[in-house]
Amino acid sequence: MSDYNAEDVRNIALVGHAGSGKTTLVEALLASAGAIAEPGSVTKGTTVCDYDDMEKELRHSLDVGITGFSAHGKHINLLDTPGYPDFLGRTLSVLNAVETAAIVVNAENGIEPLTQRAWKAADNRNLCRIIIVNRIDAAGVDLAGLTEQLRETFGAECLPINLPAEGGQRVIDCFFNPAGDSTDFSSVAEAHGQIIDQVVEVDEALMEVYLEQGSELKPEQLHDPFEEALRESHLVPICFCSAETGAGIPELMEILVRLMPNPAEGNPPPFMKGEGANLKPVSVEPDPSKHAIAHVFKIINDPFRGKIGIFRVHQGRITPNSQLLIGDARKPFKVTHLYRVHGKELIEADEGVPGDILAVSRVDDIHFDAVLHDSHEEDHFHLRSIECPLPLFGLAITVAKRGDEQKLNDALHKLESEDPCFHIEHNAAANETVMRGLGEVHLKVLLRRLSEQFHVEVETRPPSIPYRETITAKAEGHHRHKKQTGGAGQFGEVYLRIEPREQGSGFEFADETVGGCIPNQFIPSIEKGVRQVLEEGALAGYPMDDVRVAVYDGKSHPVDSKDIAFATAGKKAFIEAVLKAKPAILEPIVKIRITAPDSNMGDLAGDLSGRRGRINGSEAKSRGRILIEGEAPLAELEGYESRLKSITGGEGTYSIELSHYAPVPANVQKQLADAYQRAGDD
């Protein structure tokens, strides 16, 4: 039996930009709770969560680290997420496993790009939030100014719950014991009053008591409205600490234990049931007496333990010997071993209660985002998916050694199963396999894993750009397919209209024939022919989208009409119409965020302009750095990392995400169309 229940569990994801000190903070909390003898060091590679050789070498988290400990009668699960933009997908994937997102901010660097993206993702998931300002003892930090900046950026509901003192050497509690000493800025009385005022606003009855008692409310009176304020994002506590020195760690521990929500107090997970138009929200409760329901948020392919699925229990109990179904599978699997996760260690567990984070191994069918359950009543349950950024960085890969093709294919699919932002594409037209991720570091790490873990050597080159085709005007097309081969012939005649649709609205096919000019059984064949052109392209061999096609007339033959005849007629009629409809080739335009020394602003602006890009804005950051936001065609960013390092002396970083598709310049369209035509002639 578990030695705690669901009310005792706290699930917290530490999110924030690289270098904010999340992993060191985990070490400090583990040591404070007595879970480890002393804090490990990122520099020495001795931390619990950064155990991979590449993480030790780079001194940055590359994947989510998971650990847990008990403190003051509560069980706390900490999820240490990577702060590189390249691994944002792995960070986002854990948000469905927690009630609380702890936004960790480096006091020296202030609010950085990934801090804001993590905040937005946590807000979209409706998580309770807390802001942890780390490294408060660094020389020259302006904590008062940073606090105001946090409130300006994330809202006035962000309020200090404790305050630094003695130049960041100590932290003074402002909530539980509001009779504190002098602080580095503001005062204990002011911070306490702001927190109380914010909390009582969500509870009218308590507001009346507060007006009668003044500020003499006890923490016990404030607990329920405090949780409600967190759920409604009416309050986001700001707390201060130094993970390196331990300043503020006891105060942070008390906040996590006493104030952060348990599974019943957080906002409920967004479970849905059904498929497509029949999708409906369903209630899943942290009740151990109900059917077991869990969600898989992380997959690890371990060379020794096989496939490991890490999941969060949302309802019911799970034990060794439990029979669990995966999604709508008919046959359950038996839980032979149940584990708790502590960094790289898997520790045998006797039971999992709602809120627990556990793992099973050697279950081949388990997969990322799967819902595990023990009753067919929960078939077709899903958690609402978290939107991950589209992987745009690509490398075309081939095996270096002939005969390793299947080995490479198996390795790529294992890597893809672990990472929601790593995709494999097979471009038949270009005869290439492309691996796509969120950045060059992302792909370099995966290439190294291919070599070191899966023992597959590959050769790489830049991939083809994922252009698209569309039309910009209305047009009509017609084709009569007639073929006589000696026996039964082939006959089909099709008239159709096409028109452009709004970007992103996709393909629409309509049957507008009247009088049975084309028998109903041949309409799907016409659509099949049209869809073949959508996949292969009509102008330059790229997929086509955002087109409406309406078949309005045609002819058939009682003997010679066949599916293949109408598919061919539909295809050629569509191609004729497309070539009349002012076709356009579209290219992906990406948002680009560049962080660099402010002295490089002019050179970076000029370089981006030379790549058909533009700057939309810039923002001064701390320590003489600047954040530049702009747009550029993806095709123009090949080799940009090397160019950025050259301009900034190795100090610049950047990230991209898809913004939209836009027509390529006329000369580029002609080059692409001519190349496609020449390839067809060959």
Q: Provide the token pair at 671.
A: 């080059």
Mean pLDDT value of segment 568-574: 96
How far apart CA 341 and CA 310 sit, in angstroms, is 8
How far apart CA 412 and CA 142 sit, in angstroms, is 47
415 within 8 A of 449, measured Cβ to Cβ: yes
Query: Based on the number of CB atoms within 10 Å of its own CB, is 477 exposed (0-12), middle (13-18) or buried (19 or more)?
Result: buried
310 within 8 A of 294, measured Cβ to Cβ: no
Distances (CA, A) of 120 to 114, 237, 376, 386, 604: 10, 17, 35, 12, 28
pLDDT of residue 146: 96
CB count, 10 Å around CB of 497? 18
User: Residue 503: what residue type?
Assistant: Q
Mean pLDDT value of segment 108-123: 91
61 within 8 A of 85, measured Cβ to Cβ: no
For the cut 60, the answer to whether the pLDDT of residue 41 exceeds it is: yes
For the cut 80, the answer to whether the pLDDT of residue 486 exceeds it is: no
pLDDT of residue 520: 92
Confidence of residue 559 (pLDDT cuts 50, 70, 90): confident
Confidence of residue 30 (pLDDT cuts 50, 70, 90): very high
pLDDT of residue 205: 84
Residue in 425, 679, 676 with CA at minimum distance from that of residue 541: 676
Confidence of residue 228 (pLDDT cuts 50, 70, 90): very high
Reduced to 3 states (helix: H, G, I; strand: E, B; else coil), residue 10 is strand
Residue 274 is classified by DSSP as: S
Reduced to 3 states (helix: H, G, I; strand: E, B; else coil), residue 337 is coil
pLDDT of residue 216: 73
For the cut 60, the answer to whether the pLDDT of residue 1 exceeds it is: no
CA 165 to chain centre: 37
Per-residue pLDDT tens over the stretch 516-550: 899 999 999 999 999 999 998 899 988 999 999 99
Instruction: Quickly tell me which residue has 């999708």 as its tokens.
Output: 279
Query: Which has more confidence, 549 or 390?
Result: 549
Parallel/antiparallel/unpaired status of strands 271-273 and 280-281: antiparallel
How far apart CA 395 and CA 436 sit, in angstroms, is 7
Mean pLDDT value of segment 294-305: 93
pLDDT of residue 606: 92
651 within 8 A of 137, measured Cβ to Cβ: no
25 within 8 A of 136, measured Cβ to Cβ: no
Confidence of residue 682 (pLDDT cuts 50, 70, 90): low
131: which residues sit within 8 A by CB, 6+ positions away?
102, 103, 105, 150, 154, 158, 236, 237, 238, 239
267 within 8 A of 99, measured Cβ to Cβ: yes
For the cut 90, the answer to whether the pLDDT of residue 568 exceeds it is: yes
Compute the mean pLDDT over every residue in the chain, rounded to the nearest whole number. Answer: 92
Mean pLDDT value of segment 77-86: 94
Reduced to 3 states (helix: H, G, I; strand: E, B; else coil), residue 573 is helix
Reduced to 3 states (helix: H, G, I; strand: E, B; else coil), residue 164 is strand
How far apart CA 673 and CA 681 sit, in angstroms, is 12
Per-residue pLDDT tens over the stretch 608-649: 999 999 999 998 877 788 889 999 999 898 888 888 888 988
78 within 8 A of 14, measured Cβ to Cβ: yes
User: Residue 395: what residue type?
Assistant: L
Q: By mean pLDDT, which of 143-157, 248-262, 343-357, 615-629 is the weakest?
A: 615-629
pLDDT of residue 2: 67
How far apart CA 420 and CA 96 sit, in angstroms, is 14
Confidence of residue 215 (pLDDT cuts 50, 70, 90): low
For the cut 80, the answer to whether the pLDDT of residue 214 exceeds it is: no
**Burial letters 113-130, b for 16+ CB under 10 A, else e:** bbbebbbebbeebebbbb
How far apart CA 677 and CA 165 sit, in angstroms, is 72
pLDDT of residue 277: 75
At what angle are helices 22-32 and 249-258 packed, to 10 degrees? 80
Half-sphere exposure of 530 (CA within 13 A, CB side): 29
For the cut 90, the answer to whether the pLDDT of residue 489 exceeds it is: no
For the cut 70, the answer to whether the pLDDT of residue 99 exceeds it is: yes
145: which residues sit within 8 A by CB, 6+ positions away?
none
For the cut 70, the answer to whether the pLDDT of residue 681 exceeds it is: no
HEC secondary structure over 419-484: CCCCEEEEECCCCEEEEEECCHHHHHHHHHHHHHCCCCCEEEECCCCCCEEEECCCEEEEEEEEEC
Q: Provide φ and ψ at 560, rounded to 5°.
A: -85, -15
For the cut 60, the answer to whether the pLDDT of residue 334 exceeds it is: yes
pLDDT of residue 208: 82
What stretches of 20-154 adopt beta strand conformation (E)? Answer: 65-71, 74-80, 100-106, 128-134
How far apart CA 260 and CA 249 sit, in angstroms, is 15
Give the H or E element holding residue 137. none
pLDDT of residue 623: 73
What stretches of 501-637 adopt beta strand conformation (E)? Answer: 508-511, 547-555, 583-597, 614-620, 625-633
